[in-house]
Structure 1
């Protein structure tokens, strides 16, 4: 494989992120657009492999690219089938806050690169009026949705009260329809503005003709260039606003015993994973209240200096131990996974899986000089929540609630409604 090289550095009169995105879709090339939490630069990669390989994620071995995994992916790295889709970064474009664009090509196929550049120039030359405009969606009715979900929650609570498991996360869907195919990049841009602390992404999968858009607050694993590993325990949910619309102060948030215990279960599982691999040197910060858009969560942050503990493979090992986390599945994991399969009537697909860039230089070019270039995460994988699937003019939103034996079914329904609003608010604003 050829080394990275910069083929242009241009201004906004040249192709935009929307141009790259539409070019990839026209050619049928998989693509991923993302922005890391608390950063400004937007990254877009295009893969020339129209059928994406299924891999068992190894953060130390994979080339630069983007991974997206389904929820149903109990990856042991040995006898389990590889189900994570890997998008090799044949084209990597970075769109900085100062409007400059930097593009790198890393590919063995110069013919594909030439084809893409030619199509990109054609797309960029089209008048803006010819682009698809976002439209305000209409909810698709599902009159039995609430009753169905509340009944399933009640069954799960009864199972926990019998001692069959300690926690389970049950999800549901909500569908809306647009008058025309929505502009995914416009939705992405609005999510970036609305949720600056989230990992925001849009992923195009030509095999299924799906676009997945998300603004997730939950980091699964990350490895920085300097060897710092990070993961997060995030659970417990409440509105970030008072009933009168006044924003709540995180320091004054009141949490119920059920929510505190729910988050503690996620934290305990991370620590149990550390113990399983005999890792004792880690930093723990929290729990503390964080704001994620219109919601508040309890969160605890964990970090490890992999160079100091001489464990460079920690990110890969922890990924396989953590997914699916108890924040989206439950505890014990196998019992929760089985209950989800029995009671959920929809296929989660990529909801509650994980996604993110692997071995990509994610430094924010908007900041010069860099605070510390060595601390730029080279691999950052996030739990795929607060997401929706676009198929033509129909969007399917996913939301789940963490259940314990103290859960009240009607309240859990309201929690999923609040989570759906994370994306619905933005859709309605853009529409």
Structure 2
């Protein structure tokens, strides 16, 4: 791959200014922009896509070029799965103030992009524009969500369903002169353990988030990973995560996800895997129960498409849908009464630097013209309390929104939970 020479012209600007200009140029050209920071890593990756590609449900990750996948919770005419091929791929080191990149295409659009990038750096704008999707998402009032939880509890008790994960959306005004890139950079600083991402595409809109949950991952050493993450409680200031006490409701909720992952392994007849956990994991202002699963594909040579196979078997997991999947999904389709769009779908880099890391799209928001649409859900079992499930969604929304000064929430809102 030919290495892009970062011209001396660019040294006049900080890396954050260059990233902002990359974003501005992509949006102005109707290109797609993806930026992300993997958990526990310092460097950022930025991808520019000249043309998005609609992909099939059984899209094979192993054969894909370098790029970024964005998949909705449920595929529909309005919400389609897209692959954002990395036509231009950058790596940014904010501490060293260095940025480099690869031109992965022979398209003349690359030269045009860099000409526009120079102009964007020389003429910074106060008000940033971003891609806005042609869609509507209705906010869910508290009474409506608590009624939805009550209905879910009733449905669980009268059926063989173990768990349902209803969700809701909220609309909040953006602060003046809000910058998606600044928001992205702030999230990378505040949540080092999360997968932090900013995606803006004409067909998808603009999404910003800090997800704690790996769906599937294959690293450059050919090690496959997935996780079971469920159960939620507030992280109390000064609390040691290892001292957290979990109720039976959360323990059972997380064990359902564990059993579901194991059932997916059984479907493809994979028997050799390493399971660790559950343990308490910190995710922003929240604690969760987490179990990790690992498969060494250097030893398990009969599963060359394990990453794709598990991705398609796992989604939507019981952590975002319910268990059993078919019954829970049917309930949500009938009663949830709003469009999740890409919330609780999945997203992440594919075959970038010889690694694939796909995460569940949680702790996220969608940007509109002057407001943010926040999303959150709660795992409901027969032992759930509708008021506590509402408070759980408030806490989850706070993870990203409070960091971006979009939403403030009184500290006593979640007292006792």
Does the CA contact (< 8 Å) of 1:93 and 1:101 recur in 2? yes
Unaligned ranges ≥5, structure 2: 130-137, 409-417
1:227 matched to 2:219: no
Instruction: Give TM-score, length-normalised by structure 1.
Output: 0.87
Q: CA deviation at 1:70?
A: 0.2
1:403 matched to 2:380: yes
Residue of structure 2 in register with 1:280 after alignment: 271
1:25 matched to 2:27: yes
Aligned residue among 179, 182, 187 for 1:183: 179
What whole-Å deviation, never above 9, does each CA across 1:357-381 have from its counterpart, x for those lacking one?
Answer: 00001xxxxxxxxxxxxxxx61000
1:146 matched to 2:142: yes
Alignment of 1:1-80 (within 5 A): 4-9=1-6, 12-14=11-13, 16-49=18-51, 51-55=52-56, 56-73=58-75
Q: Say what the alpha-carbon RMSD is for the aligned residues.
A: 2.2
Does the CA contact (< 8 Å) of 1:34 and 1:44 recur in 2? yes
Q: CA deviation at 1:345?
A: 1.7
Q: CA deviation at 1:183?
A: 0.5
Alignment of 1:4-403 (within 5 A): 4-9=1-6, 12-14=11-13, 16-49=18-51, 51-55=52-56, 56-73=58-75, 83-96=80-93, 97-109=95-107, 111-127=108-124, 130-132=125-127, 145-178=141-174, 180=176, 182-207=178-203, 210-241=205-236, 246-310=237-301, 311-361=303-353, 378-403=355-380
Does the CA contact (< 8 Å) of 2:175 and 2:405 recur in 1? no
Residue of structure 1 in register with 2:412 after alignment: none
Does the CA contact (< 8 Å) of 1:181 and 1:393 recur in 2? no
Residue of structure 2 in register with 1:418 after alignment: 395
Runs of 4 or more consecutive aligned structure 1 residues displaced over 3 Å after TM superposition: 9-12
Instruction: Give TM-score, length-normalised by structure 2.
Output: 0.89
What whole-Å deviation, never above 9, does each CA across 1:123-174 have from its counterpart, x for those lacking one?
Answer: 11225xx33379xxxxxxx997111000110010011111241111000111
Unaligned ranges ≥5, structure 1: 75-81, 135-141, 362-376
Residue of structure 1 in register with 2:135 after alignment: none
Q: CA deviation at 1:52?
A: 3.2
What whole-Å deviation, never above 9, does each CA across 1:382-412 have from its counterpart, x for those lacking one?
Answer: 0001000001111100000001111111110
Aligned length: 391
> 1: distance between equivalents of 2:384 and 2:407?
35
Would the alpha carbon gap of residues 274 and 395 (structure 1) be closer, same or farther in structure 2, given more than 3 Å must change?
same
What whole-Å deviation, never above 9, does each CA across 1:320-357 have from its counterpart, x for those lacking one?
Answer: 10000000001110111111111112100000000000
Does the CA contact (< 8 Å) of 2:139 and 2:169 recur in 1? no
Q: CA deviation at 1:247?
A: 2.6
Does the CA contact (< 8 Å) of 2:349 and 2:357 recur in 1? yes
Q: CA deviation at 1:430?
A: 11
> 1: distance between equivalents of 2:55 and 2:177?
29
> 1: distance between equivalents of 2:140 and 2:254?
30
> 1: distance between equivalents of 2:313 and 2:113?
39
Would the alpha carbon gap of residues 380 and 395 (structure 1) be closer, same or farther in structure 2, given more than 3 Å must change?
same
Residue of structure 1 in register with 2:134 after alignment: none
Does the CA contact (< 8 Å) of 2:45 and 2:90 recur in 1? yes
Bigger mean CA offset, 174-183 vs 58-67: 174-183
Would the alpha carbon gap of residues 143 and 307 (structure 1) be closer, same or farther in structure 2, given more than 3 Å must change?
closer
Q: CA deviation at 1:278?
A: 1.1
Q: CA deviation at 1:103?
A: 1.1
Does the CA contact (< 8 Å) of 2:172 and 2:406 recur in 1? no
Q: CA deviation at 1:178?
A: 2.6
What SS does structure 2 have at the residue aligned with 1:319?
A: helix
What whole-Å deviation, never above 9, does each CA across 1:8-49 have from its counterpart, x for those lacking one?
Answer: 246753561111111101111011011000001111101111
> 2: distance between equivalents of 1:131 and 1:104?
29
What whole-Å deviation, never above 9, does each CA across 1:296-315 have from its counterpart, x for those lacking one?
Answer: 00000000011201122110
